[in-house]
Structure 1
Amino acid sequence: MTPEAKARLKIDEQLDEAGWKVQDFKQINLGANLGVAVREYPTDTGPADYVLFVSREPIGVVEAKAFNTILTFVEDQTERYANSKLKWKVRATPLPFLYESTSLVTHFTDGRDPAPRSREVFHFHRPETLADWLGQPNTLRRRLTEQMPELPVRNLRDCQVNAVTELEKSFAYNKPRALVQMATGAGKTFTAITSVYRLLKFGGAKRILFLVDTRNLGKQAHQEFHAYTPPDDGRKFTELYNVQRLASNTLDPHAQVCISTIQRQYSMLSGEPIDESAEDVSLNEVIQTENQEKAVVYNPAIPIESFDFIFIDECHRSIYNLWKQVLDYYDAFLIGLTATPDKRTFGFFNENVVAEYSYEQSVADGVNVGYDVFEIETEITKKGSRLKAKEWVDHRDRLTRKKRWSQLDEDTLYNGKELDRSVVNKSQIRKVIQEMKSAVETVIFPNRREVPKTLIFAKTDSHADDIIASVREVYGQGNAFCKKVTYRAEEDPDSILSSFRNDYNPRIAVTVDMIATGTDVKPLEVLLFMRDVRSKNYYEQMKGRGVRSLGFDDLHRVSQSADSAKTRFVLIDAVGVEKSLKTDSRPLERKPGVSLKDLLQGVAIGHRDNDTVLSLANRLIRLAKQLDEKTLGRIAREAGGVKLPELAKRLLCALDPDKVAEAAITAAQVEGTSRTEETLTEEELQVARTQRLTEACAPFDKPELREIIEAARLEREQVIDHINLDQVTFSGFSEQAEVAAHKTIQKFTDYIAAHKDEIAALDFFYQQPYQRRRLTFEMIEELHDALARPPLLLTTERLWSAYYRVQQSQVKGADSKRQMTDLIALVRFAIGLDGELKPLADTVNLRFQEWIFRHNGQRTTAFTPEQTEWLRLMKDHIAASCGIDRNDFDYAEFADKGGLQKAWRLFGTELDMLMNEMNKELVA
C-alpha cells in the first residue's frame, strides 16, 4: 500500500468514529445516514478524495495525504475541489467545510468565516455539528467580528474593562489562544464570567468550559456564576443559562457552561476512573515524570466541538506538558487567566497577552494592599537535630495518629526539610507559634485587642493537627479559636471557611492547600508559612490570599479593634520560603525602620534608589487608605491637584522597567537614533530612569507638601488626656450646618417640582386621589433611586436630618431608623399635604387605630384577639411596603404563622375587602 492509501484507511476509521458513513462512489447511498463521506467523488477538475454530504447535500471536502505531508502546502488543492462542479450536483456556492488530513494531523477551514483560516483539529467534526453550523446565518467567528456590542462599564474596574475589551478584539482577529494576566484580587473570575456572558448572548456560543485547578475552586467558581448579575439584565446568570459543575463524567446536554478540573476532563475523554481526591490537589504541586503523559484518544460521546471556548483559571505549568492533550482535543478558543505567568505560559498562549495588570499596579489603584515580610528562624528549623539510639520516644502513625512508646534502634539525624514529615518536633512548632504571637502583639499589630485573622500554611494534614494543638495551647483558647480548613477536616470545611470570612471566630485557620489558591478571605492580615513551596507560581498564589483590600466597616465587623481599612498584610516566614524562591511580586516596603518623614526628606534631597522610592510609595498608599476626603483634598491642593494615591502610583510607574525602556527608546528616536529594547545601553536606561524619577519625585521638593503629609500621618495618632476636664458652653447646630440643610431641602423641593409629571410616586401625590390608585413600593423605590444617585445624593436620612435642623419643632422621629417608605412622609411634608414630618410607621399606626376602632363599632362582633393580631401584622407590612396583597402572605412574618391559608380561615371572604381598605386608608 502507498503511504497515502495507509493514511486513507485511518481517515476512514476517524470519519466513522465521528458519525460519518464512508462509501465508495460506486456504492453511493446518500440516504444511508445523516452524514455520508463519499470517496473519489468526480468533479470537473478531477475526483475529490472525499466529499461530505449532510441530508443528501454536499457541504465539504476532505483532502487525504501521506503521513509526512505538510498540509499547508495542499490547501489550494482542497479549495479547488470545494469550488469545482460536482458530477450530478448543481451548487451555486463553494462547499464551505474544508479538511486536509494525514490521519495524524488534520486541518479544518470554514470558508464562511471572515478571512477563512485553517486550524489544526484533533479529529473530524460530527455531521450533526456541520448541519447545525450551516443552519446558522453567521459563523461563530463572524459573529465575534460583527455582533459584539460595546461593553457596559458599570460595576467593572478599569482593568476588567480593558481585559474583556481586548479579549474580544483577539477573538475578532481569530486568534486561537489569549492570555489575561491580572493580579490576584483584581477580579479575574468576575472578568471571565462577564466575557462568558457576552460570548453566550452576543457571540452565540453553544457551550463554554471553565477549567479550575481544584474541586474547591470549582465550587467557588460555581457560586460566583450564581451570584453574577449581567449589566443589561436583572436576572442572575444561572437564571439565564444552565451551569453544570461536573461531579461525575456525564456532560449535561443542556448545560451552556461547564465547570471542571482538567483531571476530570481527562477521565471523561479516556474513560479511566478518577480518584476523587486527585481533584483536591493543586496541579502546581504535582511533579511530572516522563511516563505521566496523558494520552487522549477520540471519544464519540464527547466530540471535539463540545466546547466553543475554554477559560483556564490559574493556568499552571501542568497544562503545558502533563495535560496538554486534553486542551488540544477540543476545537475551541483557549483563554488563560493567571496572576503569575512565566515563559512557558507566554509560549503556550502564542505570546498573545491581551491584558496585563500587575500586583504593583493593583496596590497603587487600591484594589490590593502591599505586604511586609517578618522572619522567624529557630535553630532546629535551620539545622535540624539528632535523636540517639536507645532513646525512648513516641512513634505515631501518620494517618490514624495512633502512638506507641518504644526505643530507637539507631541514631536518627534529620534536617529542617524532614520536619513534620519523618520527624515531628513539638518544641519547634511551639516556638514558632509563641514567637508569632509575641511579634503580632508587640511589633506587627501592637494596638489590636484581638488576634488579626491569620492563615497558617502547613505541610500535611497531620502537621496541621499539630499546629492547631500548639496554637490553642499557646493562646490559651478553645476549639473555636483555631480551626483546620482542609479537604480532610472533620467539620464541614465550607462552613468553617464561611465563618473564617464573616464571623469573629475562628481567628486562626490552618490549611494545607484547600485555600492556597483562588479562595478569597478578605479580612486576612497575617499569613504564616510553616511549609516551603516548590513552585514559584504556586507561592505567588498562596501569598495572594492576603492581598485583598477591605473597607473599614467590613474589617471592623470581624476585627473590632481595627481602626482603619485594611492597608497591608504581613507574611511571616518561619521556613525560609521567601529566601528559597525568587518571586515575581515583591514587598513594596524596603525600609521598614525609616520614618515617613525621613523618606520624604530623603527623596527631596536626592535619594532615588529603588528601596527608598518603593518604600515611600508603599507608605503613601497606606496613608491614603486611612485619611478622610477632606484631608486628602488638602494634600491634593498642595500637590497641584494630584491626589495622594496618584503621587504614589507615579513613583511606582517611574521604576517600571518596561516604561523606562520605552522612555529610553523614545529619547533615542528624538535624537535620531534607532533603538530596540535589546540594543539599549545601560547608560541610556539610567538616563531614562533618572528622568522619570525626577518627574515623579518633583512634587516632594515642596516642603509644604512634605509637612502636610507628615501632619496628616500624625493626625492618625492620639494622645489621651485624662487630666483636663471639659464642660459644655454651647449646644446647637452651627450656622454653617444650617445653611447646608437649607440647600439640601431646596434641592429636594426643586426636584419634586421639576419631575412631578415624570415619576409615578410624585404624580400620585399631585394628580391622583388615593381612592383611584394605590401607591406602590415600586413607585417609592423609583423615586428613592432617582434622589440617591449623583449629583443629588438625597437619601431619606440626609433629608430627614436637614428638616430637623431647619424645622426642629415640626419634625418627629429624628433618632429612629429610616425606612425607604419614610420618603412618602418627606414628599407629603415638602408639598404641604402634612403640617408635621413624622415617620410613616407613626402615621400608619395612628390611622390603623382609628380604622380598627371604627370597624369594631360598625361590626356586629368585634375583631377577635387573633384577628386583631393578624391585622397588626398586615399593618406593619403596609408601613414597610406601602401595601399588601395575597402574594405577601408568603413572607416569613406571615408564613411562620400559617400564611394565606390561616388568614383565609380567620377572615374568610372579608380578607380582600379588608386589605383594600387598609391599603387606601393607612398610607396615602
Structure 2
Amino acid sequence: MKGRGTRTLDKDDLKKVTPSAASGKAHFVIVDAIGVTRSLKTASQPLITKPSVPLKDLAMSVMMGATDEDIVSSLAGRLARLNKQLDTDDQRRIRELAGGMELTQFAGKLFSAIDADNIEARALELAGLPIGSDPGDDKRQQVQQQLVSEAAKVLNGELVELIESIRRDKEQTIDHDNLDELVRAEWNKDAASNAQALTGEFADYLKANQDSIAALTIFFSQPYRRRELSYALIRQVLDKLKTDKPKLAPLRVWQAYQQLESRHSLSPSRRRGAGGNPVNELTTLVALIRRVCGWDKTLTPFDDTVRRNFQSWIMQHHAGSGEKFNEEQMHWLRMIRDHVANSFHIEREDLEMSPLDAQGGLGRMHQLFGARMEPLLDELNEVLVG
C-alpha cells in the first residue's frame, strides 16, 4: 500500500477517482491500523531528508550558497511536490519571477546538480582524466558546488516569498494528536464582527497601497483615467494581494461584505442565487475595489455593473439623431460587453479570441465599424467599467 501511495497522478487523472480533487496528487497519508510500517520494507532513501525544515528556509539557504546534498535534495523534492498543486495562475506568477523558468524545471536542475553520475562526469572533465579514473572527493565536492550554484541563480527574494505564499495557500496540515471535539452547535455571535474585521483589513490594505500600485491609484484618486485600467494592471493588484495577504482572498472578502450588507438590506449580490458568490476572482476583486473606493454604494457584481452601463450607453447612443447600430453591429457590441464582464478590459488582440474569432475576429469587426473601431474599443473600456 505504501508503494501504491507513492504513485503520482496529475489533476485530470486524480479527478477520475476523486472528483473533489483541486490539484494533482502531491502527498499521501498512511493509516497504519495494524503496525505494518513499523518494520523496514525498503532500502530506498527519501528525497526529502529534512522534512522539519521550512521550505522558505531551504530556499534561502540554497540562494545564499548552501550546496549540502541533504538541503538541495529536500528543496528539490518539496518544490516538485508543490508543483503538482499549482494552477495555471500560480505557474504564470512563478515564471515571471524566475525568468521564464517553470518550477518543475528548477527542481530538475537541483536534482541534476546532486546526481552522482553528473558530478562524476564533470569531475573527470575538470581533472582532465579519462572515464574510469578517480577524480577524488575534492574535485567531486568542487563540481557539486558549481552545479548547485548554477542552478540556484534563478532564486531571488521575490521568488522565494512567492513560493512561500503559494505553499501557505496550498498546504494542508493534518494534526494526528490534537483532534477537535464538538462542544456545542449554535449561531456564531462573532460572525458579524469577524466579517467587519476582514472587510476593514481589506480596505486598509488597498488604501495603504494606493500610491504604489497603478490600478489602485486610478481607482482612488484618478478615476478619469479609468480607460487605462487593463487586465494586466488589475492582475498586478491580485498577484500582490495573494503574496502579501493570502487570507484576503477576493471571494472570502466578498462573502464578508455580503454577510454585513444582508443584515440591513437585500443587496444585489444576494439576489443572484446560489449564495450570490461570483466565480471570477479578477472581476470579484474589481467589484470589491469599487465598493471600497465608493464607486458603488453596495456590493455589486461586476457583470451587473457592465450590463447596466452598456444598456445606458446604447440608449444614449440611439437617442440622438446620429447613425444607429444595426443588428450585426449590436451582436458584436454584446460580445464585447460579455468579454469585458469576464476579463475587465478588451484589447485589439482579444478580437482574435473565442468567441469573437469564430465570428470573424478583428477583420470582421473592422468591416462592420471601419475607422470607428479603435475609438469604439477605447470608449467601451471607459464606459463599461465606469
Q: State the TM bucket, normalised to the shorter chain.
A: 0.5 to 0.7
1:799 to 246, 253, 262: 253
Letter in 1 for 2:267: Q
Over 3 Å counting, the alpha-carbon distance change for 1:844 and 1:230 in structure 2 is closer
- Secondary structure at 2:247 match in 1: coil
* Contact 2:306/2:385 (<8 A) preserved: yes
User: Does 2:22 align with 1:158?
Assistant: no
Q: How many Å separate the matches in 2 of 1:740 and 1:863?
A: 50
Secondary structure class of the residue paired with 2:228: coil
Tell me by how many angstroms 1:921 deviates.
Answer: 0.8
1:352 matched to which residue of 2?
A: 141
Equivalence map 1:147-546=2 (5 Å): 158=58, 161-162=61-62, 165-167=65-67, 180=69, 186-187=75-76, 233=97, 235-237=99-101, 314-316=115-117, 328=124, 330-331=125-126, 350=139, 352=141
CA shift digits 1:529-555 (9 cap, x unpaired): xxxxxxxxxxxxxxxxxxxxxx9x99x
- What amino acid maps onto 2:250 in structure 1? T
Q: Percent identity?
A: 26
| Paired position in structure 2 for 1:785 | 239
Instruction: Return the offset for 1:829.
Output: 2.1
Aligned position for 2:150:
none
Q: Secondary structure, in 3 states, of the residue corresponding to 2:281?
A: coil
**Partner residue, 2:350:** 888
- Cα distance 1:789–1:347, how it changes in 2: closer, same or farther (>3 A)? same
Closer, same or farther: CA 792–856 of 1 in aligned 2, 3 Å: same
Asked if 1:897 corresponds to 2:359, the answer is yes
Contact 1:845 1:875 in 2 (8 A): yes
Residue 229 (structure 1) shift: 8.6
1:810 is aligned to 267
Deviations 1:498-536 (CA, angstroms, capped at 9, x unpaired) = xxxxxxxxxxxxxxxxxxxxxxxxxxxxxxxxxxxxxxx
- How far apart, in 1, do the equivalents of 2:60 and 2:213 lie? 34
Find the residue that maps to 1:893 and give its secondary structure.
coil
Q: Secondary structure of 1:918's partner?
A: helix
- Hey, what does 2:34 align to over in structure 1? none
Give the AA of the match of 2:345: G
- Figure out how many residues of one structure are paired with residues of the other and give that number: 279
- Aligned pairs (5 A) from 1:29-40: none
Distance 2:318 2:193 in 1: 49
Does the C-alpha gap of structure 1 residues 876 and 859 become closer, same or farther in structure 2, counting only changes over 3 Å? farther
Q: Relative to 1, partners in 2 of residues 1:349 and 1:156: Cα closer, same or farther, differing over 3 Å?
A: farther
Q: TM-score, with normalisation over the residues of structure 1? A: 0.26
Matches within 5 A, 1:652-801: 709=177, 712=179, 734-770=188-224, 774-791=228-245, 793-801=247-255
CA deviations on 1:140-177 (whole Å, 9 max, x unpaired) are xxxxxxxxxxxxxx98661783487134xxxxxxxxxx
Distance 1:748 1:864 in 2: 44
Query: Against the structure 1 CA distance between its residues 736 and 762, is the aligned structure 2 distance closer, same or farther, given a 3 Å change threshold?
Result: same
Change (3 A) 1:758 1:867: same
CA deviation after TM superposition for structure 1 residue 316, in Å: 4.4
Letter in 1 for 2:251: E
- CA distance in structure 1 between the aligned counterparts of 2:205 and 2:77, rounded to whole angstroms: 41
1:99-110 paired onto structure 2 within 5 Å? none
- Aligned equivalents of 1:333 and 1:884: distance in 2? 60
Separation in structure 2 between the aligned mates of residue 230 and residue 785 of structure 1, nearest angstrom = 11
Quote the Cα distance in structure 2 between the aligned partners of 1:155 and 1:838: 39
**Residue 838 (1) aligns with residue 300 (2):** yes
**What SS does structure 1 have at the residue aligned with 2:282?**
coil
Q: Report Cα offsets for 1:885-919 as digits up to 9, x if no partner.
A: 31222333333433211211121112112212211
More strand by share: 1
Q: Which amino acid aligns with 1:887?
A: E
Give the direction of change, closer, same or farther, for the CA distance of 1:185–1:791 in structure 2 (3 Å limit).
closer
Tell whether 2:331 aligns with 1:877.
Answer: no
The answer to which structure has the higher helix fraction is 2
Deviations 1:835-863 (A, max 9, x none): 22111111101211222233344466643
2: CA distance between counterparts of 1:333 and 1:832?
71
For 1:861 and 1:744, how far apart are their aligned partners in 2?
49
Deviations along 1:444-470, one digit per CA (max 9) or x if unpaired, are xxxxxxxxxxxxxxxxxxxxxxxxxxx
The answer to whether the Cα contact below 8 Å between 1:878 and 1:884 also exists between their aligned partners in 2 is: yes
Please report how far the alpha carbon of residue 820 of structure 1 lies from its aligned counterpart in structure 2 after TM superposition.
Answer: 1.1
How many angstroms does 1:864 deviate by? 3.3
SS of corresponding position for 1:917: helix
Cα distance between partner residues in 1 of 2:194 and 2:74: 39
Q: Is the 8 A contact 2:69 2:114 kept in 1?
A: no
Q: Deviations over 1:771-819 (max 9, x none)?
A: 6753223332333334333457322112111111111133515333243
Q: Counterpart of 1:511?
A: none
Change (3 A) 1:800 1:772: closer
TM-score (ref. length: structure 2): 0.57
Describe the superposition over 1:869-900 as per-residue Cα deviations: whole angstroms up to 9, x where unpaired. Answer: 22122112222333223122233333343321
Give the direction of change, closer, same or farther, for the CA distance of 1:314–1:790 in structure 2 (3 Å limit).
Answer: same
In the alignment, the residues of structure 1 paired with residue 323 and residue 63 of structure 2 have an alpha-carbon distance, to the nearest angstrom, of 70
Question: Cα 1:894–1:859, aligned 2, differ >3 Å: closer, same or farther?
Answer: farther
Superposition deviation, residue 315 in structure 1: 2.8
Residue aligned with 2:248, SS: coil
Looking at structure 1, the residues matched to 293 and 93 of structure 2 have their Cα atoms a distance apart, in angstroms, of: 38
Match of 1:847 in 2: 309
Q: Which has the higher contact order (CA 8 A, sep 6+)?
A: 2
Separation in 1, partners of 2:113, 2:98: 27
Aligned CA distance change for structure 1 residues 807 and 788 (closer, same or farther; 3 Å): same
User: Is the CA contact 1:760–1:779 (under 8 Å) kept in the aligned structure 2?
Assistant: yes
Counterparts in 2 of 1:767 and 1:333: CA distance versus 1, 3 Å: farther
Q: Which runs of 5+ in 1 are unaligned?
A: 1-153, 168-178, 192-226, 244-258, 260-310, 335-343, 356-550, 555-564, 566-624, 633-643, 645-708, 716-728
For 2:360, the aligned partner's letter is G
How has the CA–CA distance of structure 1 residues 852 and 345 changed in structure 2, closer, same or farther, with 3 Å as cutoff?
A: farther
Aligned equivalent of 1:911, options 369, 373, 376: 373
